[in-house]
């Protein structure tokens, strides 16, 4: 298979993300979800970060993730109903530190050409 040199962002679909959530007794529960990610070049990523800072973003990480995550599967609400992807749902999703870390870890694996971690 020939290597394709992409110019500009490209989207990878259903990239696995493992989110760790603290539970009682000092334990951690791993939750697997799948996100669609917009992969940017280093220059485009740096520019997006600089633009967010220049615009006075109060949470650059969350705002950056809003532009990198473009879909998902496997996310449910407290009653177990699927959460449809939307800008409002994404805004709720990206503010939690454990979610930020998990999605950024997955993003850097995807953009770096590393296979998704197998559980």
Residue 1 lies in a domain: no
Task: Confirm whether 60 is domain-assigned.
Answer: yes
119 belongs to a structural domain = no
For residue 3, is it within any domain? no
Percent of the chain exceeding pLDDT 70 equals 97
DSSP-derived secondary structure letter, 115: P
Enter the tokens of residue 91.
């805004």
79: confidence class by pLDDT, cuts 50, 70, 90: very high
CA-CA distance, 6 to 24, in Å (whole number)? 46
Q: How many domains does the chain have?
A: 1
Q: Please indicate, yes or no, if residue 4 is contained in any of the structural domains.
A: no
Q: What is the reported pTM? A: 0.89
Range of the domain at 51: 10-111
**Kindly report the CA angle at 36 between 58 and 117, in degrees rounded to 5?**
100
Does residue 82 lie in a domain region?
Answer: yes
Residue 5 lies in a domain: no
**Average pLDDT over the chain, rounded to whole?**
93
């Amino acid at each position: 298979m020939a290597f394709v040199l992409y110019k500009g962002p490209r989207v990878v679909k259903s990239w696995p993300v493992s989110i760790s959530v603290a539970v009682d007794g000092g334990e951690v529960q791993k939750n697997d979800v799948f996100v669609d990610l917009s992969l940017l070049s280093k220059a485009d990523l740096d520019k997006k970060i600089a633009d967010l800072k220049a615009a006075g973003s109060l949470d650059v990480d969350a705002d950056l993730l809003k532009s990198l995550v473009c879909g998902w599967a496997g996310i449910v609400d407290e009653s177990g109903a699927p959460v449809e992807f939307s800008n409002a749902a994404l805004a709720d999703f990206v503010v939690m530190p454990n979610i930020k870390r998990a999605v950024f870890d997955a993003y850097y694996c995807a953009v770096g050409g590393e296979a998704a971690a197998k559980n």
